[in-house]
C-alpha cells in the first residue's frame, strides 16, 4: 500500500499557529508581488539581510577582519545572485549546511534592438527565456521590469505596469474568426516565438504641419519622446539594457478559503524566499549555515551568475581564508563535507492531467515540503540521485521538528522530467537532494502554491540548518 501523508492543514486548526501560517504567507505574497526579476530579488534580500545583521563580505575582506562563530556575512554576485553565511562553531573544513535556490523565472526578454514601428503600431521585439508555453503569454496584461545602463554608467531602473495608474502592455492574438489554420497547429506552433512582440503604443507624435520633412515613424518617435521625458534614455541605450517582460499585477489569494497563492515567478522564488527566511532566523549553529541564491537555472545554470560559475567556490575560499587561513585543501574539504538541499519547486499532482502522473510517486498539494531523491528524465538522465544514507538523515531532521514532508518524482517515467542545480553541487562530492514546494501550472504566467506548503518549506529549511550534523 502507498505511504499516506496527512494534509498539512490538519496541523493548524483555528488559533495562533494558523494565524502564524497565514501571516508568513502574507509576507510571501507581498514579496512575490514586488520581486519579479533577479535584480529585484537580490535588492530585497540584501535589505533583509542587512536588517538581520549580515555584513557585506567585500567590506570584511577590505578591512582584513577575521571571522568567528556567530558572524553573519553575505556576498552579492553582480546584483543577480547572492550567498549568505552564518559562521558555525565547527571548522569550515567539516562542511556546511547549504540551502540553494534559483531566483530567475521563465519570461520574455527584450532583444538588443527591440523598438520598431509597423502600420502605426509601436512594438518591442522579444526573445523568450526558459521553458514556456508561448500561447499562454498572449492577451494578458504585461509589465516591463529591469535596467537600462547608459554609456556614462548611469543605471536607470525601469518598472512599468505594476501601479494602478501605470499603463500595461500586451501581445496580441489572432481573432477566432480568422484562426482556422492556427487552430489546426500543434500547441508548440500556435504562437511563434517571433510573434511574441509587445504592443506599446499607437499614437503618433504631434508634428508641425508646415514642415516639409515629417517623421516617418511617428508612433515610434512618440514612444521614444516619452522614454526620454521619463527616463532620459535614447534608443541606442536599449543595447545596454536588461528589460524583462513579466505578467502585470500583484499576487492574489486564490480559493474561497484563501489557502492558495496565485503569483508569477513562484518557480523558484518560493524556495528562495523560504530559504532566506530560514537563514535569517538562525542565530548560532554548530556547522556553518549557507543560503546560495543563483540566476540562470532556467537556461542551464550557465554564465557568471549561474551555478556553473566559480562564484560560490571563490566565496567559500574567502571564508576559509578569513576563519582559518588560506588553504586550497580546506576549501575542497569544506565543499566535499557539506550537505545541501537543492531547493526547487516540484510538480503538484493535478487531477485534470492525471495521465502524466504516477499517483504513488507524486507530490501532492498541501502535504508539505517535497523531496526528490532523483530528478532527471526517463532513465534518470541528468539526475543527481541522492544516497539512501542521506535520505535517512533528512527524515530524522524533518521529524525532529514536526515538519510535514513527502517524497516524490516528477511525473511518469516516460512523460518527461526536469532538474535543478543539485547535480552541479554534487560535483564537489557533497550530499545533495532536491527539495521544494509543490506547484500547479509550473512555468505558466500565473502559478499556484499552497500556503501550508510554503510554511512547511520554511520550517523544513530551518530544521535542516539546525539538525543536520
Whole-angstrom distance, CA of residue 273 vs CA of residue 436:
11
Closest residue by Cα to residue 457 from 425, 430, 434: 434
Q: What is the pLDDT, as a whole number, of residue 12? A: 93
Cα gap 199→215, rounded to integer Å: 20
Cell of 25: 504567507
pLDDT at 367: 96
pLDDT, position 280: 95
Phi then psi for 224, rounded to 5 degrees? -65, -35
Q: Strand 339-343 relative to strand 405-407: parallel, antiparallel, unpaired?
A: unpaired
State phi, psi for 92 to the nearest 5 degrees.
-60, -30
Superfamily of domain 107-247: Aminopeptidase i, Domain 2 (2.30.250.10)
Would 8-105+264-467 and 107-247 be classified into the same CATH topology? no
Domain ranges of the chain: 8-105+264-467, 107-247
What local confidence, expressed as pLDDT, does residue 275 receive? 97
Q: CATH fold of 8-105+264-467, please?
A: Aminopeptidase (3.40.630)
pLDDT at 383: 77
**Would you state the pLDDT for residue 214?**
61
- Give pLDDT tens digits for 66-78: 999 999 999 999 9
Q: How far is CA 450 from CA 23, 276, 304, in A?
A: 14, 19, 33
The pLDDT, as a whole number, for residue 1 is 46
Helix, strand, coil tally for the chain in percent (to 5): 35, 25, 40
Of 463, 339, 337, 459, which is closest to residue 391 (Cα–Cα)? Answer: 339
Low-confidence stretches of the chain (pLDDT < 70) are 1-3, 208-215
Confidence at residue 384, expressed as pLDDT on a 0 to 100 scale = 83
Amino acid at each position: 500500500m502507498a505511504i499516506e501523508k496527512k494534509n498539512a492543514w490538519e496541523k493548524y486548526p483555528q488559533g495562533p499557529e494558523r494565524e502564524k501560517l497565514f501571516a508568513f504567507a502574507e509576507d510571501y505574497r507581498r514579496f512575490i508581488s514586488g520581486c519579479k526579476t533577479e535584480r529585484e530579488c537580490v535588492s530585497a534580500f540584501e535589505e533583509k539581510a542587512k536588517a538581520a545583521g549580515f555584513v557585506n563580505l567585500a567590506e570584511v575582506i577590505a578591512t582584513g577582519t577575521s571571522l568567528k562563530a556567530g558572524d553573519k556575512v553575505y556576498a552579492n554576485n553582480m546584483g543577480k545572485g547572492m550567498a549568505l553565511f552564518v559562521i558555525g562553531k565547527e571548522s569550515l573544513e567539516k562542511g556546511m549546511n547549504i540551502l540553494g535556490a534559483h531566483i530567475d523565472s521563465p519570461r520574455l526578454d527584450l532583444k538588443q534592438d527591440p523598438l520598431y514601428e509597423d502600420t502605426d503600431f509601436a512594438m518591442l521585439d522579444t526573445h523568450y527565456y526558459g521553458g514556456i508555453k508561448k500561447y499562454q503569454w498572449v492577451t494578458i496584461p504585461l509589465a516591463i521590469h529591469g535596467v537600462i545602463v547608459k554609456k556614462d554608467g548611469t543605471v536607470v531602473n525601469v518598472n512599468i505596469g505594476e501601479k494602478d495608474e501605470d499603463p500595461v502592455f500586451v501581445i496580441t492574438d489572432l481573432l477566432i474568426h480568422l484562426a482556422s489554420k492556427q487552430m489546426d497547429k500543434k500547441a508548440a506552433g500556435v504562437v511563434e516565438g517571433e510573434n511574441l512582440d509587445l504592443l506599446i503604443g499607437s499614437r503618433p507624435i504631434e508634428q508641425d504641419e508646415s514642415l516639409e520633412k515629417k517623421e516617418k515613424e511617428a508612433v515610434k518617435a512618440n514612444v521614444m519622446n516619452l522614454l526620454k521625458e521619463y527616463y532620459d534614455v535614447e534608443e541606442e541605450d536599449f543595447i545596454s539594457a536588461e528589460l524583462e517582460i513579466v505578467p502585470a499585477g500583484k499576487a492574489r489569494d486564490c480559493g474561497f478559503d484563501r489557502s492558495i497563492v496565485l503569483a508569477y515567478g513562484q518557480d523558484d522564488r518560493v524556495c528562495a524566499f523560504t530559504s532566506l527566511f530560514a537563514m535569517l532566523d538562525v542565530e548560532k549553529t554548530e556547522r556553518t549555515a549557507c543560503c546560495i541564491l543563483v540566476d540562470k537555472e532556467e537556461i542551464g545554470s550557465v554564465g557568471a551568475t549561474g551555478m556553473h560559475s566559480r562564484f560560490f567556490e571563490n566565496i567559500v575560499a574567502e571564508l576559509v581564508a578569513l576563519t582559518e587561513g588560506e588553504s586550497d585543501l580546506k576549501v575542497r574539504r569544506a565543499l566535499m563535507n557539506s550537505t545541501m538541499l537543492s531547493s526547487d519547486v516540484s510538480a503538484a499532482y493535478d487531477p485534470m492531467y492525471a495521465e502524466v502522473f504516477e499517483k504513488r510517486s507524486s507530490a501532492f498539494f498541501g502535504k508539505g515540503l517535497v523531496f526528490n531523491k532523483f530528478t532527471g528524465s526517463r532513465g534518470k538522465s541528468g539526475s543527481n540521485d541522492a544516497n539512501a544514507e542521506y535520505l535517512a538523515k533528512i527524515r530524522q531532521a524533518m521529524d525532529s521538528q514536526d515538519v510535514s514532508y513527502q517524497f516524490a518524482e516528477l511525473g511518469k517515467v516516460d512523460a518527461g522530467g526536469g532538474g535543478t542545480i543539485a547535480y552541479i553541487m554534487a560535483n564537489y562530492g557533497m550530499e545533495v537532494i532536491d527539495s521544494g514546494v509543490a506547484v500547479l501550472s509550473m512555468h505558466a504566467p500565473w502559478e499556484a502554491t499552497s500556503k501550508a506548503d510554503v510554511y512547511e518549506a520554511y520550517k523544513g529549511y530551518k530544521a535542516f540548518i539546525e539538525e543536520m550534523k
